[in-house]
């Protein structure tokens, strides 16, 4: 039982360490920090180099799984909406694959690192391995505890209606937990980490705005996004600020007439009719059709 206790303590400590890193750095974590984790005076890298299954000596079950930013689509979403992770090679008895199957058998929570750029990862945790799809050399991963519980319901296939609902739910979780950070990263990178409206470069204040909301079917692609500081993102989302399809900013008429302190004067009114700053790569420019659709909504709000 001592081994299990060690396993639990190490995982809990690793999750707490990741919580602290996220509180300081946001969702994008550097491999330097992820390798610097220590547990009870022992240095324990949280991830395996580039892509792989992290096995820690003293633990039977894998601690983390990582995908490389160079092959982000190698690990995919299955028809049931659940995330799939490829084994290392095809040998079920290989050391690292065995540790993955052990994590499944013992229902140990793992960390999933997704490489989003060289040396930069997002961390999703805890995640669980639910099934092995041996013929395809991969495992099925639950990204939340409730998904794990739903999947393990034995009479799953006897309830096709529930299955469809589960699938939609699983897809939503995948979108929130995996695609959203990837979208943010790609958008901020395309805009050179500056607000497209005011050029602010403070990374900690920047966000990726959707032009067409994902709830309305907007896709998580760069051309459906714009990098904005927190205030301009909020102003865009609430139709205080609009972006015309010809890439010119408009501030809503009633807001232009308002009187207030410097934020209103400089950060909003002062930017009326300004041109947005576009990404250097033309293929990353915001989609004019999506902007037009969105701009109609802005005009209707004014």
Which residues are at the interface with Zn ion (CB under 5 A)?
A: 195, 197-198, 200, 229, 232
Query: What is the distance between the alpha carbons of residues 49 and 34, in angstroms, rounded to a whole number?
Result: 11
The least distance separating Zn ion from the CB of residue 244, rounded to whole angstroms, comes to 17
Closest distance between Zn ion and the C-beta of residue 257, in Å?
21
User: Dihedral, CA atoms, 80, 48, 34, 171, nearest 10 degrees?
Assistant: -10
Q: Which is nearer to Zn ion, 174 or 227 (CB)?
A: 227
The residue (of 10 and 198) whose beta carbon lies closer to Zn ion is: 198
297: left (phi over 0), alpha (psi -120 to 50) or beta: alpha
The length of the chain, given as a count of residues: 302
Residue 179: CB partners within 8 Å, gap ≥ 6? Answer: 220
Environment class of residue 254 by beta-carbon count within 10 Å: exposed (0-12), middle (13-18) or buried (19+)? exposed
Q: Least separation, in Å, of the C-beta of 259 and Zn ion? A: 21
For Zn ion, the closer CB: 46 or 200: 200
Choice between 103 and 229, CB closer to Zn ion = 229
What gap in Å lies between CA 38 and CA 40, rounded to an integer?
A: 7
In the complex with Zn ion, which residue's Cβ is closer, 116 or 276?
A: 276
The least distance separating Zn ion from the CB of residue 251, rounded to whole angstroms, comes to 13
Six token digits for residue 223: 């051309």
Closest distance to Zn ion from the beta carbon of 4 (Å): 50
> Per the structure block, which two tokens stand in for 178?
């995996």
Is the CB of residue 277 less than 8 Å from the CB of residue 193?
Answer: no
């Amino acid at each position: 039982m001592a081994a299990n206790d060690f396993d639990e303590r190490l995982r809990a400590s690793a999750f707490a360490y990741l919580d602290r890193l996220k509180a300081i750095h946001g969702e994008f974590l550097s491999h330097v920090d992820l390798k610097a984790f220590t547990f009870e005076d022992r240095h324990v890298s949280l991830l395996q180099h580039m892509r792989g299954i992290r096995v820690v000596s003293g633990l039977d079950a894998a601690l983390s799984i990582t995908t490389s930013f160079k092959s982000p689509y190698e690990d995919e979403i299955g028809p049931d909406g659940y995330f799939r992770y490829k084994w290392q090679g095809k040998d079920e008895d290989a050391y690292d694959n065995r540790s993955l199957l052990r994590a499944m058998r013992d229902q140990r929570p793992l960390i999933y690192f997704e490489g989003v750029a060289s040396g930069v990862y997002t961390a999703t945790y805890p995640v669980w391995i639910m099934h092995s799809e041996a013929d395809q050399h991969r495992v099925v991963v639950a990204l939340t505890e409730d998904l794990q519980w739903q999947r393990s319901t034995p009479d799953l296939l006897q309830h096709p209606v529930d299955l469809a609902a589960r699938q939609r739910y699983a897809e939503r979780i995948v979108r929130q937990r995996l695609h959203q950070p990837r979208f943010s990263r790609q958008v901020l990178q395309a805009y050179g980490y500056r607000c497209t409206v005011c050029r602010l470069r403070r990374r900690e204040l920047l966000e990726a705005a959707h032009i067409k909301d994902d709830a309305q079917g907007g896709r998580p692609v760069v051309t459906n996004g714009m990098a904005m500081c927190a205030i301009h993102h909020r102003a865009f989302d609430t139709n205080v600020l609009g972006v015309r399809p010809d890439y010119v900013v408009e501030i809503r008429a009633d807001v232009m007439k308002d009187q207030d302190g410097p934020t209103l004067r400089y950060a909003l009114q002062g930017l009326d009719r300004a041109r947005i700053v576009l990404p250097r790569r033309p293929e990353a420019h915001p989609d004019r059709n999506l902007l037009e659709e969105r701009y109609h909504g802005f005009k209707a709000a004014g």
